[in-house]
Structure 1
Amino acid sequence: MPTRSVAARALIATLSLGVAAHAQDTPANAPQAKRTVLDKHDQSGVPGKEIIIGTAELPAGAVIGWHMHDGDESGYVLRGNLVLKTRGQPDQVLKAGDHFFNPRGAVHSLAAAPGGDGGTALSTWIIDKGKPLAEPVK
């Protein structure tokens, strides 16, 4: 099994690819979100599942395009104002201290709230082992 640092670097590369895949949805000069994986572990007693914790920093004007996860995401806004868009549901305007949940397969996007300074969210995902953390969706 690779060390956590090697696994984390591979996961960060996967996240970077996911963000890059959305470049066609946003202008070339738009600010970019920065995703950081903080930790990753196999879920105890649940074969085939892993738990990942990480942050998404969105400067003013940044958007993480439409994507989904092969598992559940539970998140918390650490600072700033963000907008969570989930297909088929009203937009959720989130501020520091708010929490959110994306069930497995929910197609969603996260953006810095218009007119604000951006924001940072902390999320925990429980996903199928071996799947990418985020999969781009048109």
Structure 2
Amino acid sequence: MAFSTAQAQAPGIHRTDLIKNDLSTPHLEGVQVRVDFEPGAFAPKHAHPGEEIAYVLEGTLEYQLGDSPPVTLKTGQALFIPAGMAHSARNVGSGKSSELATYIVKKGAPLATPSK
């Protein structure tokens, strides 16, 4: 299954679109994406038109939400990212890191937009 995520891939980051489906709540859809980060790869600040739950499948990822201090997650840990919250992610481990990103977003809106 392929669909557009509308977010340019940063160097060393590989996205695999898994599923996109309408929800029972009008105007919302659920999207799941696997994101693989090569060592040192960085996803610059961006925001989503809804909530994101990031679950680390392997490795160690550092997330920065807004102006808050960075949070480091390891395999098996998850993070809730509120709708519209600008955030970034970086692989701070020595090997590949991967996350399962689950989004509950406005149907038809770009999945991600760059932030300052």
Aligned match of 1:103 in 82, 97, 105?
Answer: 82
Cα offset for 1:43?
A: 0.6
More helix by share: 1
**In the alignment, is the contact (CA less than 8 A) between 1:62 and 1:118 conserved in 2?**
no
| 1:37 counterpart = 2:8 | no
Unaligned runs of 5+ in 1: 21-30
Unaligned runs of 5+ in 2: none
Report 1:1-138 matches (<5 A): 5=1, 8-9=2-3, 11-12=4-5, 14-15=6-7, 17=8, 19=9, 31-44=11-24, 46-113=25-92, 116-138=94-116
Runs of 4+ off more than 2 Å: none
TM-score (norm 1): 0.79
Cα offset for 1:35?
A: 1.3
Q: Over the residues paired in the alignment, what is the CA RMSD in angstroms?
A: 1.4
Identity over the aligned pairs, expressed in percent?
Answer: 36
More strand by share: 2
Larger radius of gyration: 1
Distance 2:105 2:80 in 1: 14
TM-score (norm 2): 0.92
Q: Indicate the structure whose relative CO is greater, using CA pairs within 8 Å and at least 6 residues apart.
A: 2
Cα offset for 1:40?
A: 0.4
Cα offset for 1:90?
A: 1.2
**In the alignment, is the contact (CA less than 8 A) between 1:82 and 1:118 conserved in 2?**
no
Name the count of aligned residue pairs.
Answer: 116
